[in-house]
Structure 1
Amino acid sequence: METKTMNIKVEKAKTSKIDQVDFENLSFGTVFTDHMLICRYKKGSWKVPEIIPYQPLTLDPSAKIFHYGQSIFEGMKAYKDDNDDVWLFRPLDNCRRLNISAKRMAIPELPEEYFMDGLIALLKLEKDWIPKTPGSSLYIRPFIFASGTGFHASPADEYTFIIAFAPSGAYFSGKVKVLIEEKYSRSANGGVGFAKAGGNYAGQFYPTQLAIEKGYNQVIWTDDNTHEFIEEAGAMNIFVRINDTLITAPTSDRILDGITRKSILDIAKDEGITVEVRKITVSEIVEAAKDGSLKEMFGAGTAAVISPIAAFGFRDVDYDLPQLSHSYASLLKKRITDIQYNRAEDKFGWRFKV
């Protein structure tokens, strides 16, 4: 994979924070590296990106991000192998999805070389920040928001693109207990559920908090119309194993086209696992739990890769899932992470060396 080389200006931080970081005990997304990439859209075009010291932003109170919510983001990771080589996982998919989100939110699309060249330049500068503790990685957050000003309800005329890094440990530990949601909806037909728009996640927080108060860790979202079909698990795509068949919902206006989701489908097929991409009813899940054919449920996303579900609740009844010695979740997670950390052959061409 080749990208056009851009002349990116670099302003280095006067001092580094890296010596203050305990890389053996990293929480997720709370420690940030010394630098960030910033690129501005003004007068109808994206300007050349710059790398500057990580710092707060100054925005006008009338910046449209505060009023009309034009904000999108991506989530990625960089990995370091035993030889200290740095790897990305399907980065062009993230770039393309960022622009899919941009188009839906009336944000100018970002040229691919701005994304890739800017990311690579920043990674080369911050290489020492990539942790090597098992399960750890450098979390990458590219995002775009409306920085243009004015109270008029219309798209902004200026935008800011930033890439920031956060060395992080494992996102989740252990299994989770989820509640199937029947009142609130994550997204609707014709909406922005397929985009990684900030407002999608803001809207999840309240119903998720209600579930937490009931003793659950997360919510399983159902369709907005009948609440008959399960669609996502919190901020992750969801997979269900009934007997030996792995099932996930098809993407739509409401469901994010997850990169981890796509990878799981390809690896499962490569493993000879029967895969179905179809609608999954809540009643099917409940009946499968009752008759013992429901073997596994798990969420899939960049941060956690795969997060096994230990139990789910529906209409005041909890259903426990069996403890399996050879689960699809563990098999698939190992296959993906072995590719990401350059521990195994990458027959799919997903790995990108920085």
Structure 2
Amino acid sequence: MNTHNHTRALGTEAATAPFKTLEIERRDVLPTDVQIEILYCGICHSDLHAVHNDWGGTTYPIVPGHEIVGKVSKVGESVTKFKVGDLAGVGCIVDSCSECSHCQDGEEQYCEKGWTVVFNAADKKHGGITYGGFSEKIVVNENYVVHIPETLDLPGAAPILCAGITVYSPLKHWQAGSGKNVGIIGIGGLGHMAIKIAKAMGAYVTVYTTSQSKADDAKRLGADNIVLSTDDEQMKNCPKQDIILDTVSAKHDINSFISLLKTDGSLVMVGLPAEQLEISAFNIVHGRKSFSGSNIGGIAETQEVLNFCAEHNITADIELINVNQVNEAFERLENNNVKYRFVVDMVGLKQ
């Protein structure tokens, strides 16, 4: 029989209710499980959407957080990949069928039977609902845990587990690199990581933004070219792109960006607007262009992006906050008032 242990967490009980301290249950450590004492957890736009039930289907109480960095505090007797004291991370995926072709290929994010999200998902194997990283500790099967390189700044590394892998996976898949033009729409949590990673891959990076203040900051982040997307003249004169990553999670016109692609270029959606997007058929037919999407990355690729970021000394630009500032942080995130990722110091939960 599987027993449970109590853990303090930060969650909310309704779409409009503030965050407060809750007591949740974590399963006891099974033979292949790793227990992680959570040190830091990033706040992503997906957390905001889920908490507010923007996509429907939220179960309350909800404990969000899927950019988790911590230290292994306990391992099951069959665990081979981790030992107590290791730095470890958990992203969006905490389980999958492990048998379908996608899981076998290390692409658990496309699991045919559906993977289990780290928070607010039905736990098919252990029952109940999953709770995320806004908590003291988490228990996860070792196959869904990654090693955090010791050279990375820990709070700054947390967003690599979602924002980092979400942009790394499509940049790698569409072969960003030397001699390629990569466009990035939006400079937020995802966009600012995309600039750093695409540059480290050797690409020529153009950033599209509606904000002059963010345009000024894009150069510091490593962008080669900045285009104010509200300026028709700048849009008309900017270089044609091999790949454009669209990181925007609000309604916007994507046809003006598709027309900036080279022949055979692809606009890849990684943002998740709640509204439907409209695409002109003429726009993609002319030039054999693609409108594509990409969803996070598998566990092996998440480890790969962490190693890549360590090698190139890349971390997120973060604002480190304590647990008492989470309500304010979600409000500010809604108003896009953060450069560029909030990360919560979870130590405050223990007090």
Q: TM-score range by the shorter chain?
A: under 0.3
- In proportion to residue count, which structure has more helix? 2
